[in-house]
Structure 1
Amino acid sequence: MSSTANAPRTLKVPLVNVYAKGGYSAQLRIGAEKHPLNLILDTGSSTLVVSGSDYVEERDSALTPTSFAQEVLYGIGGWDGPVVYTRVGIREDAIDFDLHDDHVPHAHHPIVLEQCPVAVVSSLAQETSFADADGILGLAYDGLNKVYDLKDYFNHYGIAPALTHPWPFDEEIHLCSQHYHPILTDAILTEANRDFSMVQTSGNSSATQDTGAQWHQATETSFNSEDLRQFKRFLRTQPTNALPPYFSNLTSHGLTPNKFAFFARRSSIHVASQEVLTPNTANEFAFLGQDPLNQGWLILGGGEEHTELYRGEFKTIAVIENKYYNVNLVGMSIGDNEMIPSLLTQSIEEQGEQGLEEQAAETKSDTAQLDDSLSDTSALCPDGQHLHTHGVHICDTMRGQSNAIIDTGASAIVLTRHLFDALTQTLEAINPHFIEQIAPFKDIAFQQTGIDMADLQLELWPDLTFYFVGPRNEHDAAPTCDAPDCPPGCEPIAIRVTPKHYWQINTPTQGKACFKLLSQLPNWPDQSILGLPLMSAYYVVFDRSVDDKGVIRFAEQKPLNISEAQHAR
């Protein structure tokens, strides 16, 4: 590892949202050749994964192979591939749209990890999970960066060397659907230059016969790593380890403090011109990336010291579990209407100490219906305390649950079915025309079409306010309510989302607009995904140094300066 400044410090990394359909990416340089790759920032995962068609590992003299494999399934898409160790540098790029920040020393100097774990995707079909980016930089906690160790599997079947790179599970080796025995395909049988050899098991004739019987042509019932779900079932039969993710490596090597901050103004690409450019080309990406509304910042190792990015005081919410950035969403209000409870307290009352994630693992779909909570906003915690709009008391049991995650990798806010149904009913009561305008967005693909912006009167749409459980310790305590026995942090923390953030104008083309609130995805747990629309008015600090789980702080962004605002029109 190396860096220009050896003491822990902040690093200010420029971001653009033009490669991932609104998701923000940073440029890292991978391998000995320092090949530049644009990686999506994702607080909903922990793995540093790159596209094999963009990072040519065969030319990387810094690469060290392993026996590890990784696989990640998203709500839509996924990937699998080998894990290698190699050089990873950040802030070595030529992209810069900022002057020097004299009040934050060394914030623009690069940081390099010489041996960092990187997953490599070799399947072109699976690379579509990254849109036009080159991979993902996961910023969640260590527990999500699980690897499967295939060393014993390779040794048992005599596959040498016992390494996952080069990746054998595509053309060379298929797997038996029932017992996961390896099946060599014609491709490997005819490639004499690949170093795969059979090793007979001495002194055990039955084992030798069983092993040798597997080396024949693949059948219709066999599969390879292109079948993500079957391949994951195979991987789950193998030993697992947890690798430290990229950001954890930075902090453990003393290069940055254990926090980072995120600054982004949009959740969809802003198209300010009707100039016609060839889609998905370097020229188009460069042109769109010059728009200040399509730019952002990642602050590695810091937050509050970068006063050039925010103003006012921070609001702090608690992280409930150090896997994803799990939080407690107490409820949501629409305009001046009463808060709609998220059903968190009702779920706690019904499930006792069983966590919502355990419940979600057993439940494939949410069957909750709207109930009297829409008209009566009170609900009971197990200790008998009442939930109400202006003084929600947060009981200890409620603090231990999570029903939402804060996810920079999501370009929309995905609400549970209960909250989304409540939203649509309230919007219809305010103005029936609202429902007509959002109806096409039930099809996620309509995000690539949009409605005419001229028909959208944003000034008529209400603000949305999300209420969260705040931190418990006195240092980060939220203001208390008027109750004499109310402990610090008993009131929920309100984060407001305005119409210009849950609607995105001038996207996907100039003059169009897209609605960025979605209902619960099929087979998704009863959990809200709070993506970029929640964060795009704020400077958001993910401070993992507080307690053992961390907190998330929100402060109002500083507005665009005059020249930036003129450029963004």
Structure 2
Amino acid sequence: MTTLLRLPITNVFGQGDYSATLHLGSEKAPVNLLLDTGSSTLVVKSTSYQATLDKELTPSTAVQEVNYGVGGWNGPVIFTSINIHEHCHQSEHPQSIAKSSSMNLTNAPIALVHSAKQSKTFGEADGILGLAYHHLNKSFDFSDYFTEHNIAPALSYPWPFSNELSEDLVSFKKLMWKYPEHDVTPYFTLLAEQQLSANKFAFYSKRSAIHVNESHSNKEDKIPATALANDPLNKGLLILGGGEEQTDLYQGEFQSIKVEHDVYYNVELKSVQVGTNKPVIAAPLDQKHLKSYFTNAIIDTGAGGIVLTAEIYQQVITDLIAYNANFAQCLAPFKEMSAQLTGIDSSKLQLSEWPTLYFNFVSEPATATTAEKVVQLSCTPETYWQINTPDYDKACFRILSQLPQWPNQSIIGLPLLNNYYVVFDRSVHKTGVIKFAEQNK
């Protein structure tokens, strides 16, 4: 029988990205893991989980490596138990099935990162919980390497590689591809396969950047994460095994977008529109990238901004400035990523003057007998601008331009998702759908 869990999440450990608490191994070590539909690996810093104390740990001959575009890591694959449970009272959420609900996986795969340098990829979180599909969760069997180099025990844990080799991710990746590759079953897929959870989860969030209130402003010392986590605007919910039954979290009807490929949560973006302006058409993904990236957009809970292709981004900025010439002064600093660390004075912003951005996605592709159906989702100024971040009375613009070396694929992150209660229903069709309903605030 499947279980439904309604889990509190917070954005304070991931600089705006949300994390949930899982418990690992015989010691039930608590770890705060970033919730990322843009990757599939469950990876943990070795300093956050004391593997040497875990009586349930089983090492393997497998290694993994992931590069997120901004930061990356490599490390051994080990197997141990993973427990996740609700840690709030049922009276706070009557839709929950049971006050003491939990899900416990035994012999579940986890990647460990031993490098302090690579661990910075996770910010103040303890790692990442990838919620995408198995194709992104590759590992490589190094049995032959261990034999060739007389490594005993012939296992990837304890990590047998030198820092010089393992911290050069480019060279290490070339080495990995010399050895047999196989996919590791991701955590959420295991929950569904073992019938611990229905094959769906839902995501409720309010912001894409940490909210700093007035009482925490102008402090010389770093604001404690616990203080920030108490701010209701820095909280959210992850519902494992459910979605539509959480009627207190949304209103109205759901709109559904078909997941086109089960690699990322791949969707097809038709256009982006600034207010009542002419829609900016989203070009199809370049032919050379189709084999690896599949569509021109992905839905990514692990992205703190909306990353548009260079062409769409430039036209959106042009349209915003055409809408109001005074916007140019506010937008100019955010050509540089570094502006996210400082922001601008929020007194320069009048959010009521800014237009809503509209994102148009393919809901159902055209067939011989039916026309293409399109879903329009709204991104309000209150979410594509974030007020009171990175400090009180500062503001950050959360629409970003294409990453270097990334294909012409838009990454639809938190600023759009913050407007909706979002259900990732993987049980529908072969690849699933993503459902959006207006939040109950």
| TM bracket (short chain) | over 0.9
Task: Output the CA distance in 1 between the equivalents of 2:150 and 2:332.
Answer: 57
Deviation at 1:273, TM superposition (A): 2.3
Deviation at 1:230, TM superposition (A): 1.1
Aligned with 2:260 (options 302, 320, 328): 320
Match of 1:163 in 2: 155
Match of 1:293 in 2: 233
| Aligned partner of residue 311 in structure 2, secondary structure | helix
Task: Output the CA distance in 1 between the equivalents of 2:48 and 2:222.
Answer: 15
Determine if the alignment matches structure 1 residue 62 to structure 2 residue 56: yes
Match of 1:536 in 2: 418
Determine if the alignment matches structure 1 residue 466 to structure 2 residue 359: yes
Deviations 1:198-228 (A, max 9, x none): xxxxxxxxxxxxxxxxxxxxxxxxx410111
Task: Output the CA distance in 2 between the equivalents of 1:555 and 1:101.
Answer: 19
Deviations 1:429-486 (A, max 9, x none): 1122212211111221211110001110111111000000003699xxxxxxxxxx86
Match of 1:27 in 2: 21
Pairs within 5 Å for 1:478-557: 487=370, 490-557=372-439
Q: 1:359 to 1:239 in 2, by over 3 A?
A: closer
Larger Rg: 1
Task: Output the CA distance in 2 between the equivalents of 1:54 and 1:97.
Answer: 27
| Aligned partner of residue 91 in structure 2, secondary structure | coil
The one-letter code matched in structure 2 to 1:102 is: P
Report which of the two has the higher share of strand.
Answer: 2
Which structure 1 residue ranges, 4+ long, deviate > 6 Å from structure 2? none
Aligned with 1:87 (options 77, 81, 88): 81
Deviation at 1:19, TM superposition (A): 0.5
| Aligned partner of residue 248 in structure 2, secondary structure | helix
User: How does the TM-score come out when normalised to structure 1?
Assistant: 0.75
Aligned with 2:6 (options 9, 12, 19): 12
Task: Output the CA distance in 2 between the equivalents of 1:25 and 1:272.
Answer: 21
Deviation at 1:340, TM superposition (A): 1.4
Task: Output the CA distance in 2 between the equivalents of 1:438 and 1:166.
Answer: 48
The one-letter code matched in structure 2 to 1:117 is: P
| Aligned partner of residue 405 in structure 1, secondary structure | strand
Q: Structure 2 unaligned runs (5+)?
A: none
The one-letter code matched in structure 2 to 1:302 is: G
Match of 1:177 in 2: none
Match of 1:419 in 2: 312
Equivalent residues of 1:79, 1:228 under 8 A apart: yes
Equivalent residues of 2:63, 2:139 under 8 A apart: yes
Deviation at 1:100, TM superposition (A): 4.1
Deviation at 1:338, TM superposition (A): 1.7
The one-letter code matched in structure 1 to 2:290 is: E
Determine if the alignment matches structure 1 residue 307 to structure 2 residue 299: no
Equivalent residues of 2:90, 2:99 under 8 A apart: no
Match of 2:349 in 1: 456
Aligned-pair Cα RMSD in Å: 2.0
Task: Output the CA distance in 2 between the equivalents of 1:473 and 1:543.
Answer: 22
| Aligned partner of residue 373 in structure 2, secondary structure | coil
Task: Output the CA distance in 2 between the equivalents of 1:98 and 1:273.
Answer: 32
Deviation at 1:558, TM superposition (A): 0.4
Pairs within 5 Å for 1:321-340: 321-340=261-280
Pairs within 5 Å for 1:375-390: none
Pairs within 5 Å for 1:173-252: 223-252=164-193
Q: 1:518 to 1:104 in 2, by over 3 A?
A: same
User: How does the TM-score come out when normalised to structure 2?
Assistant: 0.96
Q: Structure 1 unaligned runs (5+)?
A: 1-6, 172-222, 361-400, 475-484, 560-569
Determine if the alignment matches structure 1 residue 113 to structure 2 residue 53: no
Deviations 1:497-556 (A, max 9, x none): 000000000111110000000011111111000100010010000011011111000001
Determine if the alignment matches structure 1 residue 357 to structure 2 residue 290: yes
Pairs within 5 Å for 1:360-439: 402-439=295-332
The one-letter code matched in structure 2 to 1:134 is: D
